Amino acid sequence: MISIKQLTYALSVEETLHFKKASEKCNISQSALSTALNGLEKQLGLQIFERDNKKVLVTPVGQQVLQQARAILLQVEGLQHFADVQKAPLSYPLAIGLIPTVASYLLPKLLPILNQQYPHSRLNIVESQSHVLVDRVKRGDLDTALLALPFPCDGLLTLKFWAEDFYWVTLKGHQYSQQQEITKDELNDCNLLLLEEGHCLKDHILSVCNMTAQTANQNFRATSLNTLIQMVLGNLGTTLIPAMAIEQLTSQHASLAVVHLHEPGPHRQLAFIFRPNFTRLSSLDALMDMCKTGLSQPSRQ
């Protein structure tokens, strides 16, 4: 079978009209070049070059062969360029899932960095609860999803990249609002409001605080952290939120106090989940680095 090297050698001889100069240009011996071109002519059944001790000429049919050789090498070069582009991070649309307690607070920090570093990238973003995202990643509907761990992800790989603690939010004037830290035991007296069933943040908080669902206030059930904050502002109770949400949820409310939960941490870890045979790991690495950059930006805590 004709090889790319044979075509490259032939075009080098055409350019130099000299076997020794062509071999030096191709970084091979003159005998190896001659052998390769003899093999090419034998495979084609055509004479491409006329050569003797003094000169090299391209035959009329050889000119047509070399014209096609140039076209073939240009196509090969184009194919290689295409492959290189596909291997570049975020060169192909990426379908990513995010849980609600991450999406609203990460995306405002992530997307400006993404647009700056990868202006032609395209993310197809889906927001849903953890169990839905895990199922969609397994089915191939999503390339990856960003979850808060611990959460069961059997059959998938996880790439942890961030860890954070929880903070207690209450109205100023509460008996514990002047403290720098609050313990799980103290929270038993704080009418704690949590998200409704299905949100992994609720499970994480219950686990960290060693509580049961019955311990927390079940008279008010919310589907978002913003709703919980509004309940706190309405003096209906107190709540816990992750560190990444503090600035967005509390900075505009001077009546709120934010106190760190003094329990062994980190209280939750963020990770990308993906299938074992997922091939675009460079895109995932780039996305992870941008998430870390965004989350590392200073915020009020």
Do residues 268 and 201 lie in contact, with contact meaning Cβ atoms separated by under 8 Å?
Answer: yes
State the pLDDT confidence band at 197, using cuts at 50, 70 and 90.
confident
Give the closest residue to 40 by CA, choosing from 18, 25, 62: 62
Burial of 134 (0-12, 13-18, 19+ CB in 10 A): buried
Average pLDDT over residues 241-248: 95
Residue 300 has pLDDT above 90, yes or no: no
- The proportion of the chain whose per-residue pLDDT surpasses 90, expressed as a percent, equals 76
pLDDT of residue 60: 94
The set of residues, in sequence order, having a beta carbon less than 8 Å from that of 170 and lying 6+ positions away, is 176, 177, 190, 232, 238, 256, 257, 259
The set of residues, in sequence order, having a beta carbon less than 8 Å from that of 30 and lying 6+ positions away, is 19, 20, 23
Least confident piece of the model among 125-134, 217-226, 255-264: 217-226
Q: pLDDT for 52-88, tens place per residue?
A: 777 899 999 999 999 999 999 888 887 876 666 566 7
Q: What is the set of domains in the chain, with CATH numbers?
A: 4-87 (1.10.10.10), 94-163+268-296 (3.40.190.10), 166-261 (3.40.190.10)
Average pLDDT, the chain: 90
Q: pLDDT for 167-195, tens place per residue?
A: 999 999 999 999 999 999 999 888 899 99
Q: pLDDT for 4-14, tens place per residue?
A: 999 999 999 99
pLDDT of residue 78: 77
